[in-house]
Structure 1
Amino acid sequence: MDPNWRVLSGENKWEGLLVDPIGDDFRRYIIHYGEMAQATYDAYDSDENSITGGNSKYAMDELFSQVGLGKGRAKKNYTITKYLYTTAAFAPFNKDTNWMGYVAVSTDQETKEAGRRDIVVAWRGTNEESEWLNNVGILQQPASEIFGDIGEDDIPSVHGGFYLIYTSNNSDSTFSKISVRDQVLKEVSRLVSIYKNETISVVVTGHSLGGALTTLNAIDIARNVFKNQDEDSNSNLVTAFAFASPRIGGPMLRDSAASLKNLHILRIENKPDSVPDFPNIGYRDVGQLLFMDTEESEFLKRKGFIGSKGMAHNMEIYLHGVSGTQGVEKKFKKDVERDISLVNKHGENLVDIYGVPIAWWDEVDKAGMVQMEDGSWKTKLIINKKKLVTKWWKFFLLFICY
């Protein structure tokens, strides 16, 4: 059992953990959930001509193994129980339904090791045109579906576009007849009921648009799934790890979130990434902050202004940043624990001396990248060189012996 999970999940608002540099146990904890958010990008099929276009490329029981989370230190001992779908509710995207993430629960083995039954909700970031159009607005609207049990004047307002994605449904769709909000609350409630006699944690994780939905959803779960929980109890913690999230609401939302004793929100922000700074007028940050600067990493390429901004917002760059940050005022780690090959998974971000193919994830045969038993990735060239060296050593030893 892990006796520190409550602290790592923010029971004490991560007091003492957000200092420079953060501890390695905390790094691994954040990366563990960040990888579950990254999985939504790796599994999403954005090809409109594909039979799985707009959906996950993989079935629920094979997603983790297919996206590289089935081996070694990357392995996730979780069972995905529900896929989540969103819909656009404005022309010309009225029937635009897309896969947006999943709900998963820890296996018995993971539960024993972790010290609690862990329920995870993972949200994908922006990929579709309808999602981009929802992102760019700045107007707010009352979040009445989340805060419907309080007086109308006390209902916090949230970003209208994010709220629309979260609460819209499409009666003509097979997948989103009910809103993604109803989908996720129904599934989390079902799992909480099944494991009601166990200690339960709920962790919500996502990047960019998914980070915004993470915060919105975590507040919703804390208020409405655990609404009958003793106000003085922290027995069932709800934690949000929001990577590169834009702001989602104003002071009322910030204060409402802060008032929920079982809710803990951590925003992970990269200094050169401008997305977390918007919208600004009328908006406030929610939760605690882990701030880092990936421009200090010697592993990453130096690009122009636009290229640097794009790279800084990439989820794999965020995970690399968590792995190596020593704080914004200190040097980046020279020996990071997380595999640096993943930095080039969807882009050209790693310096060339490491010989990792560019944007290798979607290439045929992963551009020659192979996952090792420890969860890391190597090129076939490196693997073959090692085999060749091993063969020569065997030959040399046989020569000496005879």
Structure 2
Amino acid sequence: MSVTEFPMACESANATATPLMIVSDWSMQLRTNQYAFVSSCPISQCHANFTSPSSSRQAHKQAQESRSRHCRRVYKGRAWASQPLHVVVQVWTTAVLGEQWSLVGPITATAAARWKELHGERSWEGLLRPLDLELRRKVIWYGEMAQATYDAFNHERHSPHAGLSRFGRKRFFERVMLPGHAAAYRVTRFLYATSSAHAAKAVAFVKGGHPRSRCRESNWIGYVAVATDAGKSVLGRRDVVVAWRGTIQALEWTNNLEFAMVHPSGILGDATGADAIVHRGWLSIYTSTDPASTHNKDSARSQVLAEVRKLVDTYKDEEVSITVTGHSLGAALATLSAFDIAENGYNCTASATFPVTAFAFASPRVGGASFKKRLDTAAAAGLRVLRVRNARDIVPGYPALPYHDVGAELVIDTSASPYLKAPGDENLWHNLECYLHGVAGAPTASGQGFEHVVERDVALVNKSYDALKEEHGVPAAWWVPWNRGMVKGGDGRWRLVDCEDEDDREDAAVPPVNK
């Protein structure tokens, strides 16, 4: 068994800790620079790791030896791929001097108390220029939840599972190497979409060529997650998250996409919204059904609204937030679905209206002037939209007039980073990991440099693209399944094992949505 230890976000002699056990049998390399405490020992045997920086080396050595013995005794995982890393992850929520620390760095008691402000209660007034530190962390947190949809998606056209998630719901955040999110959330539902608009379908979906393909006309498009009890204690409320996957093609799709506008009849049924038209392709992916599909007898819209309604009803007596996130096409879907949730009262109970916030990365425009006006009106129902735009990214400028931007805008500029290839290209400027790199850093006061405000591993920008300068020695597009999912069996033959589908069929059935 391999046991890996990452640096904790904080050390203090006065720390108290509550452990949450996550047992994983990951088949990919662990990401570096994650704030996780990898062990399986009880707090009494790990206390040396929470002492002050002046702790003796001997005490630290004893704790290391104790962890090692305990890990060997406790681990009971099973292999999923041919040569997986077996890891037992101990996640700690540590209270230090009135502050709480998460796996992505400090989440102060002030930040937990400020969550409404950070989610746009005052439309992010005074928080964007300069970018508030806690908001910076918040944007990265939800950006990583959007990135997870890319990291889990099965692109392998030769696989019968092409177009699905490679990972199941139960260990989803562990599989995409987000231990902090794994401690804070559980995925409750996967989302699937189809489309009657052929151009939109071409840029968003993979159509498998395998004769036993399980997903010919539909694709996995995202997930719904909810904060666990432990996550609620750190985040300050019960957070419901909807994450939408974006496009799977390079940016040539912007030249081929139809920009026709239609009325969102299922979302706006009243006469007052007759002129609030939106992009036909985005709406089609959100609302289309296919009676022949296992996954899309109900639309993505029906799936997400049913799950949000269920979770809101479950936690109606608590403080709840609804957060929607996505990148590129996923950002357009995030905007559309966040509007839908607020406009039609899926964030409401008999006694409360819960805030709905969209964090939209690199979003193309969704609708015209009347849609923008209607979305602004929905702010009274708790809706807020924050668009994150890279200065050189062309996608947020599509489509042109009569389409309009909505919500507040956070502008970053990755061209200031000395880590990225210069001047870069359209795909680099649009890449989500490059966006998160740009959010984590900022130009120096002189404007001549770039500094990390939030520590984030620069290797991540090469996860799916060749964006990092050669001097850093990180291969391009390094996020791939072990041996591309091929596993050698006991009979000596290699077979494709690239999907954990224990809950796939469960997600196919969706209860009806009552508007």
TM-score between both structures, scaled by the size of structure 2: 0.65
CA distance in 1, matches of 2:362, 2:445: 16
RMSD over aligned Cα atoms: 2.6
Q: CA offsets, 1:27-76, max 9 Å, x none?
A: 110000000000000000011211321000000111111111025xx655
Question: Are 1:82 and 1:187, in contact at CA under 8 Å, matched by a contact in 2?
Answer: yes
CA distance in 2, matches of 1:153, 1:104: 31
Q: Which aligned pairs between 1:173-184 and structure 2 lie closer than 5 A?
A: 173-184=293-304
Q: Within the alignment, does 1:116 sit opposite 2:237 as a pair?
A: yes
Q: CA offsets, 1:95-142, max 9 Å, x none?
A: 62000000000000011121110000000001279x959971111000
User: What SS does structure 1 have at the residue aligned with 2:179?
Assistant: coil
Q: Which aligned pairs between 1:1-150 and structure 2 lie closer than 5 A?
A: 2-20=112-130, 22-70=131-179, 77-89=184-196, 96-127=217-248, 136-148=257-269, 150=270
Question: Are 2:218 and 2:295, in contact at CA under 8 Å, matched by a contact in 1?
Answer: yes
Q: 2:465 is matched with which residue?
A: 347
* One-letter amino acid matched to 2:170: D
Q: Within the alignment, does 1:156 sit opposite 2:276 as a pair?
A: yes
CA distance in 2, matches of 1:155, 1:219: 16
User: What SS does structure 1 have at the residue aligned with 2:339?
Assistant: helix
CA distance in 2, matches of 1:347, 1:329: 30
**Deviation of 1:174 (Å):** 0.8
Q: 2:287 is matched with which residue?
A: 167
Q: Give unpaired runs (5+ residues) of structure 2.
A: 1-108, 202-206, 208-215, 485-515
- Higher deviation after alignment, 334-343 or 316-325: 334-343
Q: Give unpaired runs (5+ residues) of structure 1.
A: 367-402
CA distance in 2, matches of 1:117, 1:134: 41
Question: Are 2:312 and 2:347, in contact at CA under 8 Å, matched by a contact in 1?
Answer: no
CA distance in 2, matches of 1:190, 1:19: 38
Q: 1:310 aligns with which of 418, 427, 435?
A: 427
Question: Are 2:187 and 2:226, in contact at CA under 8 Å, matched by a contact in 1?
Answer: yes
User: What SS does structure 1 have at the residue aligned with 2:450?
Assistant: coil
Q: 2:363 is matched with which residue?
A: 245
Q: How many residues align?
A: 356
**Deviation of 1:225 (Å):** 3.4
Larger % of helix: which?
Answer: 1
Q: 1:11 to 1:91 in 2, by over 3 A?
A: closer
TM-score between both structures, scaled by the size of structure 1: 0.83
* One-letter amino acid matched to 2:468: L
Q: 1:266 is matched with which residue?
A: 386
Q: 2:3 is matched with which residue?
A: none
CA distance in 1, matches of 2:396, 2:372: 15
Question: Are 2:254 and 2:395, in contact at CA under 8 Å, matched by a contact in 1?
Answer: no
* One-letter amino acid matched to 1:77: A
Q: 2:324 is matched with which residue?
A: 204
**Deviation of 1:335 (Å):** 3.1
Q: CA offsets, 1:329-383, max 9 Å, x none?
A: 94553235111110111121112222222211116479xxxxxxxxxxxxxxxxx
Question: Are 2:286 and 2:300, in contact at CA under 8 Å, matched by a contact in 1?
Answer: yes
Question: Are 1:144 and 1:155, in contact at CA under 8 Å, matched by a contact in 2?
Answer: no
User: What SS does structure 2 have at the residue aligned with 1:259?
Assistant: helix
**Deviation of 1:153 (Å):** 5.8
User: What SS does structure 1 have at the residue aligned with 2:367?
Assistant: coil
* One-letter amino acid matched to 1:163: L
Q: 1:109 to 1:170 in 2, by over 3 A?
A: same
Q: 2:372 is matched with which residue?
A: 254
Identity of paired residues, percent?
44
Q: Within the alignment, does 1:284 sit opposite 2:404 as a pair?
A: yes
CA distance in 1, matches of 2:456, 2:194: 35
Q: Which aligned pairs between 1:189-228 and structure 2 lie closer than 5 A?
A: 189-226=309-346
* One-letter amino acid matched to 1:353: E
CA distance in 1, matches of 2:258, 2:166: 30
* One-letter amino acid matched to 2:302: D
* One-letter amino acid matched to 2:224: V
Q: 2:476 aligns with which of 344, 358, 364?
A: 358
Question: Are 1:140 and 1:159, in contact at CA under 8 Å, matched by a contact in 2?
Answer: yes
Q: 1:186 to 1:112 in 2, by over 3 A?
A: same
Q: 1:208 to 1:86 in 2, by over 3 A?
A: same
